[in-house]
Structure 1
Amino acid sequence: MLFQVYGDHAAMQWLGWVMVFVALIALNEFSRRSKAGGLIMFVAVPAVMTVYCVTVVTAALMGVDWGVKNPTVVFANGWFHYAKVYAALAGCVGFMAIKYRWGKIGKARWFRAFPFVIVAINILIAVASDFESAVHFFTGDYTMLNGSPVWTTSEHITVVTGWHNVFNGVAGLINILCMTGWWAVYSSKKQEDMIWADMTWVFIVSYDLWNFCYTYNNLPNHSWYCGFALLLAPTVANALWNKGGWIQNRANTLAIWCMFAQVFPQFQTTMPELGVDSPFAVNSTMSSTANLWVSIAALVANILAIAYIAYRAKKLGVNPYTQEVFTGTRDFEKANARVDEADRTAVLAA
């Protein structure tokens, strides 16, 4: 078993998972279906969050007691959390510019590569975190916990370190190259979605495995939510009713979750010694063997994905990054049928 979801709190832990999953699905639908919904979720709410974070961090730096003890300062004040939330928000706003064709930038062909760039940046942030953890293993800067080498982050998270961090970091780098058809990104017919038809199940599965592994490796006390529930929400939406909109679903749900976790980290935290003991908190098994096998699975999946992409590119005689490689496949055709042809024509003519 990968997680400690058994015992007295099991019912609450599963209830917490269901609540997070359903809330992410619902808020993604709210934010994608109208400009007002998107602007509320990805402009207004982040503005309030930023004011809050600046206030509590400033108070903490001044030594004010309520600032020093604030949950955001204690559990979510590291570089990774801030980088992730604002990178995700940048993606959400950029994707809105494309799907609503806002101004010159929303109509420009060169900007259609923005989704690739922002996703690559998000992946590189996580890869850097994996490699940061690996450094502790190779420099001997760790202690042992139940037979596994661990270190503790500035946010009081105990992390298992080892070769698994290297394997998954490499998987993340390969995953960046699994994004194809960088400029073939268009608005949907109803302008509800940004469609990237060439981002099919091949990338989605390899990304989900890599990112789940990243959270399992580096956020073992959060992975039940940010690895399992958060990754499943956009994948289910893409599979059932929003074909071709996976990357928009992913950015939306990621930003929503990161903002919630930034302001209310105590929801998923159990550290009685620091005054927090949430019944919804779930930890991984903290086993280096489990981390290793999950990382190997992620690495193998990404190697297979990039090999399949290379095979299709050669078969079709196309450059997989400047052209689409999944034309003719069921996933691609279903997504492509949702594209606004007027937008495609205008972009290709630009």
Structure 2
Amino acid sequence: MLFQIYGENAGYQLLGWLLVFVGLVVTNELARRSKKGGIFFFMLVPAALTVYFAAIYIGAARGAEWALTNQTYTNMNSWFHYAKLYAATAGCIGFMMLKYKWGVGKTEWFKVFPFAIVALNILIAVASDFESGIKGAQAMKEFGDRWWLSSENVWLYGGWWNWLNGIAGIVNILCMTGWWGIYSSKKQEDMLWPDMIWLYILAYDLWNFEYTYLNLPTHAWYCGLALLLAPTFASAFWNKGGWIQNRANTLAIWCMFAQVFPLFQDQGVFATLPVLYADGVMNPAVRPTAVDPTMQGVIAIIALAVNVLVLTVIIKRAITQKKNPYKNEIFTDTKDFQEAMARAQ
């Protein structure tokens, strides 16, 4: 078992997961199907939130009680969350430029933007993984265990699994092929990356789930499982070739929600802990003593193994086809690729 879903709150935990999953699927559809939807979710809302965040930090600097006790300030103050929110939003805007052919979105060179922004997002997570690995090692020297308290008052258990998963993230970047094979769908609802087939999606989802499980353990039930499955679900059933756009959209929307309402997943009936906290408690004021990191290690090994396997497949195909897998598409003979291209302009 990965999460502690039992007892009187189990029904609420499952309901919370379903609400997040369905909410992300629906908002992604609203954002992708029209220019107005995309502009609202990825330009107007982030602009308003930027003003809101600035007001909170200005207020906190001045000692204002409302700001110092604001849940965004107390629960979501790490560099990672802000970096992820704005990097994901930048990706959404760039993808809109490509699918609607706005400005540089018409140019050939800008087609490499999806690779660049996805790689940046992955590297942000890799840096966070390595940070946790380092702090876990420091804690071992100082306290005899691997627990360290994040700036958001969450106990994390840093170890070799962080290093393994960080390496998996770097390998995952190398698994993105056909960088210039970017298209707009016939209805201009989607930016398509046909060479990003199910193999990459599987490798990415495993790596990213492990990232959340290690570094956002109190949120992983939602930002790990629900957030990753929402774009994968849409891509599998009706949005072939549009997975990376789905992923960016749902990630940005979730980051905005979680940044403003973190207590949804941090406290109350919807809060869900992983099995890492063996006694079922995560109290920032008390250093944990009971720990079960087994699944952290197992998933890290699986994530790295799958990413290496996918990269091996890519290398083999590149050699067989005598192609540079980054300049050229190498999965053109697959069903996923062909179904995506059938939707392209």
Q: TM-score range by the shorter chain?
A: over 0.9
| Match in the other structure for 1:180 | 177
Q: Is the counterpart of residue 302 in structure 1 residue 292 in structure 2? A: no
Q: Is the counterpart of residue 238 in structure 1 residue 238 in structure 2? A: no
Between the aligned partners of 2:102 and 2:307, the Cα distance in structure 1 is 35
| Match in the other structure for 1:161 | 158
Q: Is the counterpart of residue 120 in structure 1 residue 136 in structure 2? A: no
Between the aligned partners of 1:297 and 1:63, the Cα distance in structure 2 is 47
Q: Letter of the aligned partner of 1:211 in structure 2?
A: N
Q: Letter of the aligned partner of 1:203 in structure 2?
A: Y
TM-score (norm 1): 0.92
TM-score (norm 2): 0.94
Q: Is the counterpart of residue 311 in structure 1 residue 301 in structure 2? A: no
Between the aligned partners of 2:190 and 2:129, the Cα distance in structure 1 is 32
Q: Letter of the aligned partner of 1:3 in structure 2?
A: F
Alpha-carbon contact 1:24-1:233 (below 8 Å) kept: yes
| Match in the other structure for 1:196 | 193
**Residue deviations 1:63-85 (CA, integer Å, cap 9, x gap):** 11111110000000110000000
Alpha-carbon contact 1:162-1:288 (below 8 Å) kept: no
Alpha-carbon contact 1:31-1:37 (below 8 Å) kept: yes
Count of residue correspondences: 330
Q: CA deviation at 1:149?
A: 2.3
| Match in the other structure for 1:56 | 56
Alpha-carbon contact 1:136-1:151 (below 8 Å) kept: yes
Where 2:310 maps in the other structure, the secondary structure is helix
Let me know the Cα RMSD of the aligned residues: 1.2
Provide closer, same or farther for how the CA distance between residues 218 and 142 of structure 1 changes in structure 2, counting only shifts above 3 A.
Answer: farther
**Residue deviations 1:239-296 (CA, integer Å, cap 9, x gap):** 00000000000000000000000000010002xxxxxxx2101111112211001111
Between the aligned partners of 1:4 and 1:63, the Cα distance in structure 2 is 38
Alpha-carbon contact 1:143-1:151 (below 8 Å) kept: no
Between the aligned partners of 1:205 and 1:254, the Cα distance in structure 2 is 17
Between the aligned partners of 2:230 and 2:96, the Cα distance in structure 1 is 19
Between the aligned partners of 2:263 and 2:320, the Cα distance in structure 1 is 51
- Paired residue for 2:296, among 278, 291, 294? 291
Q: CA deviation at 1:44?
A: 0.7
Between the aligned partners of 1:98 and 1:132, the Cα distance in structure 2 is 34
| Match in the other structure for 1:343 | none
| Match in the other structure for 2:337 | 332
| Match in the other structure for 2:32 | 32
Alpha-carbon contact 1:123-1:172 (below 8 Å) kept: yes
Q: CA deviation at 1:53?
A: 0.8
Q: Extract unaligned runs of 5+ from structure 1.
A: 271-277, 341-350
Between the aligned partners of 2:158 and 2:298, the Cα distance in structure 1 is 13
Alpha-carbon contact 1:142-1:150 (below 8 Å) kept: no
Q: Letter of the aligned partner of 1:282 in structure 2?
A: T
Alpha-carbon contact 1:151-1:160 (below 8 Å) kept: yes
- Paired residue for 2:269, among 247, 270, 279? 279
Q: CA deviation at 1:62?
A: 1.2
Q: What does 1:32-181 correspond to in 2, within 5 Å?
A: 32-103=32-103, 105-140=104-139, 149-181=146-178
Q: CA deviation at 1:139?
A: 2.6
Q: Letter of the aligned partner of 2:273 in structure 1?
A: N
Where 1:17 maps in the other structure, the secondary structure is helix
**Residue deviations 1:178-215 (CA, integer Å, cap 9, x gap):** 00000110111110000000000111000000000000
Q: Letter of the aligned partner of 1:181 in structure 2?
A: G
Q: Letter of the aligned partner of 1:34 in structure 2?
A: S
Between the aligned partners of 1:142 and 1:39, the Cα distance in structure 2 is 50
Q: Extract unaligned runs of 5+ from structure 2.
A: 277-291
Alpha-carbon contact 1:161-1:288 (below 8 Å) kept: no
Q: Percent identity?
A: 57
| Match in the other structure for 1:218 | 215
| Match in the other structure for 2:7 | 7
Alpha-carbon contact 1:91-1:115 (below 8 Å) kept: yes
| Match in the other structure for 2:285 | none
Between the aligned partners of 1:55 and 1:281, the Cα distance in structure 2 is 28
Where 1:90 maps in the other structure, the secondary structure is helix
Alpha-carbon contact 2:136-2:157 (below 8 Å) kept: no
